[in-house]
Amino acid sequence: MDNILRADVAVIGFGKGGKAVAAELGRLGRRVVLIEKSDQMYGGTCPNVGCVPTKALVHHSGQRRPDDSPQEWFEHAVGQVQALTSLFRAGNYDSLNGADTITVLTGTASFADPHTLTVVTSTDRITVTAETILINTGSEPVIAGIPGLADSTRLVTNVDLIKTTTLPGRLAVIGGGYLGIEFASMYNRFGSKVTVFESSARILGREDDDVAAAATQILADEGVDIVPGATVVEVRDGTSGTTITYERNGSRHTLVADAVLAATGRTPVTDGLELANAGVRTTARGAVEVDEYLRTSRPHIFALGDVNGGPQFTYISLDDSRIVLDQLIGEGKRSTADRVAVPATLFMTPPLATIGLTEKEARAAGRRIKVARENVADIVAMPRAYIVEETRGLMKFVVDADTDQILGAALLSVDAQELINTVALAMRHGITATELRDSIYTHPSSTEAFNGVLAALQPNP
């Protein structure tokens, strides 16, 4: 006979949103069961195979000196990062499983009916019943349907790549989006010869031409080979490498690589959940369908994080937890509609952080705008860039000409991942460009660059 656990709340997946809800409800005395299919994923994607290890590797890649052996330095870096992720993973597990009101099960969950889950562990089969159920299963890499790619022995995902201790001498990256460019920058700095294949006319297609051009130039100057307008048509393994065949400008070309990174997006993980048994609907793109309160087609079942098809950021998953907690123990008013000015950062070196509208989007919307744009090397008010010897990049602001409200920004600079949060706060609370320009900032800091950049606002017809 199956073991039976009865809970107030069951959470499928140990990601950021789910664990935050589980921790808070457990603290309040609710009986919580959290199910995670892998003992290597306690805490979710971010601390195990996402933000923490990749950004740690970005840091280590920048510490390699010219005389350091690329392979030895890479192996050392991966060891350091694995020790860090192991520490975080253990801390995540202990913080929840150690609570009297929370039980963590390591196994695969599927719906038997709207209130019942079947959990298969390595040694047991457990039935979990709960009044409320949270789906928090995240997303996984998409492998493009390129002939030979899925079967290649040298195919790697971002998860595979950061776990190997062998630095690929030649790394081919298929996809010039955030993930592809971040890994291209990182592995180039470790010492790989990196080639990026991008099917569009240029990388960073959403960004303005000047921002994308600046980022592209930085990557090219560091040795990353970016091949825009390239359609990969075949991947074929050989004894000494994998041959990538691609079409560009009407001609066919080939390149041989030691590893091929598929960086063509991620898709929600719903396979095996048996959502139909619970009457939970999915969207055409495979995400769990939710309303603005993150309720699924079954009001007692919520979906948080990447699995609901929203922006694939850990901080969005955290905000999802606030919305769900407000539904379960709060006033029930908070929703995804409350989100404004959500920033994003691409962790190349230096990082590119963006928020709001680009110049071209503002123009397309018919807005009267003012634009400020300065190369970091020319920002007199930012001596920190010279102090830390990172003067590459630019800062750009798009401002409403009538209201002086900041419509968007692109910061390609040292500390951009921090600076963008100040801009986001200003946008959320109606702080004008003039107020941001005239604020008092510490010195020498990167933030004080706003004093200079925003002083250069010019009307753009």
- Both tokens assigned to 387: 């102090």
On whether the CB atoms of residues 207 and 214 are closer than 8 A, the answer is: no
Same topology, domains 3-140+267-338 and 155-264? Answer is: yes
Of 212, 182, 188, the residue nearest 345 (C-alpha): 182
For the chain, the structural domain boundaries read 3-140+267-338, 155-264, 344-460
Virtual torsion, Cα 217, 220, 225, 229, nearest 10 deg? 10
Tokens 């280590």 map to which residue? 60
Residue 61 has pLDDT above 50, yes or no: yes
Largest Cα span, the chain: 74
pLDDT at 325 (0 to 100) = 97
Classify domain 344-460 at the CATH topology level. Answer: Enolase-like; domain 1 (3.30.390)
pTM for this one?
0.92
Virtual torsion, Cα 66, 172, 348, 46, nearest 10 deg? -110
Strands in 242-248's sheet, in edge-to-edge order, are: 231-237, 242-248, 251-257
Task: Show the 3-state SS of the chain.
Answer: CCEEEEEEEEEECCCHHHHHHHHHHHHCCCCEEEEECCCCCCCCHHHHHCHHHHHHHHHHHHHCCCCCCHHHHHHHHHHHHHHHHHHHHHHHHHHHHCCCCEEEEEEEEEEEECCEEEEEECCCEEEEEEEEEEECCCEEECCCCCCCCCCCCCEECHHHHHHCCCCCCEEEEECCCHHHHHHHHHHHHHCCEEEEECCCCCCCCCCCHHHHHHHHHHHHHHCCEEECCCEEEEEEECCCCEEEEEEECCEEEEEEECEEEECCCEEECCCCCCHHHHCCCECCCCCECCCCCCECCCCCEEECHHHHCCCCCHHHHHHHHHHHHHHHHCCCCCCHHHCCCCCEEECCCCCEEEEECCHHHHHHCCCCEEEEEEEHHHCCCCCHHHHCCCCCCEEEEEEECCCCEEEEEEEECCCHHHHHHHHHHHHHCCCEHHHHHHCCCCCCCCCCHHHHHHHHCEEEC
Tokens 């994607």 map to which residue? 45
Give me the mean pLDDT over the 310-322 stretch.
93
Percent of the chain whose predicted confidence (pLDDT) is above 90:
81
CB burial class (10 A; 0-12, 13-18, 19+) of residue 9? buried
Q: Which of 115, 253, 300, 443 is catalytic?
A: 443
Q: What backbone torsions phi and psi does residue 70 show, to the nearest 5 degrees?
A: -55, -45
- pLDDT band of residue 1 (cuts 50, 70, 90) is very low
- pLDDT tens-digit readout, 277-295: 999 999 999 999 999 999 9
Give me the mean pLDDT over the 175-185 stretch.
94
- pLDDT band of residue 461 (cuts 50, 70, 90) is low
Report d(CA 134, CA 295) in Å as an integer. 9
Q: Which CATH number fits domain 155-264: 3.40.50.12780, 3.50.50.60, 1.10.287.990, 3.40.50.620?
A: 3.50.50.60
Residue that wins the pLDDT comparison between 214 and 79: 214
- pLDDT band of residue 249 (cuts 50, 70, 90) is very high
Active site annotation includes 59: no
Of 237, 219, 149, 139, the residue nearest 180 (C-alpha): 219
Q: Hey, how many other C-beta atoms are within 10 angstroms of the C-beta on 432?
A: 16
- pLDDT tens-digit readout, 381-392: 999 999 999 999
Q: Hey, how many other C-beta atoms are within 10 angstroms of the C-beta on 13?
A: 28
In terms of phi and psi (left: phi > 0; alpha: psi -120 to 50; beta: otherwise), the region of 266 is beta
Percent of the chain whose predicted confidence (pLDDT) is above 70:
99
Of 307, 407, 392, the residue nearest 352 (C-alpha): 392
Query: Residues at the annotated binding site for NAD(+)?
Result: 175-182, 198, 265
Residue 70 has pLDDT above 60, yes or no: yes
- pLDDT tens-digit readout, 394-436: 999 999 999 999 999 999 999 999 999 999 999 999 999 999 9
Query: Residues at the annotated binding site?
Result: 55, 137-139, 175-182, 198, 265, 306
- pLDDT band of residue 207 (cuts 50, 70, 90) is very high
Query: Residues at the annotated binding site for FAD?
Result: 55, 137-139, 306
- pLDDT band of residue 460 (cuts 50, 70, 90) is low
Distances from the Cα of 378 to the Cα of 138, 414, 453, 457, angstroms: 42, 14, 10, 15
Report d(CA 65, CA 215) in Å as an integer. 23
Classify domain 3-140+267-338 at the CATH topology level. Answer: FAD/NAD(P)-binding domain (3.50.50)
